[in-house]
Structures are given as structure tokens and as C-alpha cells.
Amino acid sequence: MVDYVFMQVKSILTADQFSRQDLDLILKNTARIESLLKKHKQLNILDKYILATMFFEPSTRTRLSFESAMHRLGGRVVSAVGMQFSSMAKGETLYDTLKVMESYADICAIRHPVEGASIVASKSISIPVINAGDGAGEHPTQAILDLYTISVHKDIAGKNIQIGFVGDIKYGRTIHSLIKLLSKFNASFTFISPAEIGLPEKYKKDLNQMNIKFTETNDIEALTECDVGYITRIQEERFSDHATFDQFKDLYVINKKFLKTCRKDIIIMHPLPRLNEVSTDIDSMPQAVYFKQAEYGLYSRMTLLLYVTGLLDKLDEFS
């Protein structure tokens, strides 16, 4: 566990920071927001707040998800993406760049190619920082929406849930964060990948320490016994040579035919974008929840915006 004493305000920096109690609170309120939005197009709680989306690398869907979440809470947005950070091109430090920004917004969602950038951010400025992905590091809001997705379909507070992770388990940032959250519930893991891109040792050690059951295999058949299939893309940029990548890229393909061999109530998740690893022929099947995940991302991020501003209680005013 990292020490978060430096957080003068409530920031969201890593999946590690959440206790089971925090997660229960977040899941409960996300469900509540999902339900309220069926009646209200907007929950006007943050109408005097400004969210800054500072995306030092582009990620349109994550940015729009945050911005839409802010708008659905009645809030306002200022935004900067990529190349526009001209002052950093002139040699300015991230600290200075953010320090200047802090008076322009009440919450800062930051995406940065360098691991740890959001921690630098939270140390630099006095407003809540939300890590919207920092390089090979963390993407905690993605983990929260993934957790919420599972919680909608499976009773994660109840009996053991078997989660199958498929694809690039070595570099898959979203998998690492989600494991951390799920380890606070009653879940077991099946890691399905070629050994070359399997679960890194440090995560195995953590799981063993917590007495969490997991198995590793390169056989996709293992997924047929799971309650949840979390599929990821194998990214070419991870491999130094084409030959290795070509060998792996279409190794696992979840399609209609394969789904028939799985449990009937399995759900298939994917952090997107997908290539061939999830066939479009299952898009309209009830098991396919990957597009719902994006929708759940909206509700989850609305919850997190209220969480960092300490305004979750304001949801009581809606019914």
C-alpha cells in the first residue's frame, strides 16, 4: 500500500487507494445514478464547478466520457489535448504547467504518457486530481467502471465469481488495476495467454499473499468455466519483432461458435478498442456487454466526480 498522506484533497490516483468500503459506496451510488438518469437527463449538482480535462496524450473516448459525465451533473468543462501544451514544448516542467492550471478549474482529470504523472499532479495542485491513465501505470476509473459492469451482472458480494482474463496479461494496464479491485471481493482468476505475455511476477506474489486462487493457461477452453470473460487486444507495439506478434495476434477469437461452449450466463467484456479478438457476430448477443461498459463508464465517472468533490449526498435530492 502506498502512502497517500500527500493527498490534501480527495484524488483518484490508483486502484490501490480504494478500501472495500469505498468501493461499496461507489458501486451503490453508480447504480443509483444509472437509475436516476432514466428519469432525469441531468442531475444538476456540479453547476458551479469546472472540470479541466488535461490530456497530454489523446484519448477521445475517455475524455468525452469525463466531459459528458460532468455535463450530466450540470457542470462545466475546459479542455486541453496533446500538442497544445506549447509551454511544455518550451521546456516548462509538468509542475509549473499544472500549478498555473489550478486556478482555472475545481477538478482536474489528467491523462499523461508517463507513469506517475497524476501523482506529480496531485502533489502540485490543491484541487482534486483524477488519473485518467498514466502510461504503463494505472487507469483507476477504467477499473471502477469494469468493476461496476461485473457488479451489474454478477453478485460480486456473494458467492465466488470466476473471472477469465484473455490476451495480453503482461502489459494490460486495465487488467492489473481490475485485479486489485476484485481482490477485495470474492473472486478467482483464470489468466489465459501465451506464457510470453502472462501475468507479471509481482502480481502473482500479491495474489498469493492475499490467498486469492488463480490459474494460468494458454488454452482458451479455460474460459468456458468462467462467469466473466475479460478480453484484451494484443498490441503490436509491445513486440520487438513482427513474427512474434503475428503468431499471437489472432490466437484467441471469441465468436458465436465459441460462446456456445461457454456458460450461458457468461458476460464478455472488453476495454476497447477491439480488433479481431472479439468477433462482431456476437455484438447483439446478451453476453456481449462491452458497449454497455462505455455507458457504465458514464455513470461511474459521474459518481467519481461527486466523490472527489464530497457531494455524493446531494443525490438524495433526486428521486
Residues in touch with a second copy (CB under 8 A): 40-42, 47-50, 52, 57-61, 63-65, 67-68, 71-72, 76-78, 80-88, 90-92, 95-97, 99-101, 103-106, 233, 235, 272-275, 280, 291, 294-295, 297-298
185 vs 248 by CB, closer to a second copy: 248
Helix/strand/coil for 296: helix
Complex with a second copy: residue 51 or 119, whichever CB lies closer: 51
Q: How far is the CB of 239 from a second copy (least distance, A)?
A: 15
Q: Compute the distance between CA of residue 283 and CA of residue 286 in angstroms, rounded to an integer.
A: 8
Minimum CB separation of residue 173 from a second copy in Å reads 15
Residue with Cβ nearer a second copy (15 or 52):
52
Residues counted in the chain: 319
Query: Minimum Å distance from CB 61 to a second copy?
Result: 5
What is the closest distance, in whole angstroms, from the C-beta atom of residue 168 to a second copy in the complex? 13
- Choose between 33 and 161: whose C-beta lies nearer to a second copy: 33
| Residue 160 vs 280, nearer CB to a second copy | 280
Grid coordinates of 67: 466531459
In the bound complex, what is the minimum distance in angstroms from residue 44's beta carbon to a second copy?
9
* Residue among 304, 16, 1, 20 nearest 137 (CA): 16
**Which residues make Cβ contacts (< 8 Å) with residue 117, sequence separation at least 6?**
56, 94, 110, 134, 135, 137
At closest approach, how far in Å is the CB of 22 from a second copy? 25
**Closer residue to a second copy (CB): 17 or 309:** 309
Whole-angstrom distance, CA of residue 167 vs CA of residue 233: 6
- Interatomic CA distance for residues 299 and 311, integer angstroms: 15
Q: In 10 A of CB 311, how many CB atoms? A: 14
Q: Please, are residues 191 and 219 in contact by the beta-carbon 8 Å criterion?
A: no
Burial class (CB in 10 A: 0-12, 13-18, 19+), 102: middle
The distance of closest approach from Cβ of residue 114 to a second copy in the complex, given in angstroms and rounded to an integer, is 17
If the CB atoms of residues 25 and 81 are measured against a second copy, the closer one turns out to be 81
Report the candidate in 288, 297, 10, 8 with the shortest Cα–Cα distance to residue 153: 288
CA–CA gap between residue 61 and residue 274 (Å, rounded): 14
- The smaller minimum CB distance to a second copy, of residues 182 and 298, is found at 298
With CA atoms as reference, report the closest residue to 188 among 211, 161, 208, 167: 161
Minimum CB separation of residue 206 from a second copy in Å reads 29
Q: In what order do the strands lie in the sheet with 50-55?
A: 76-81, 50-55, 107-112, 129-134
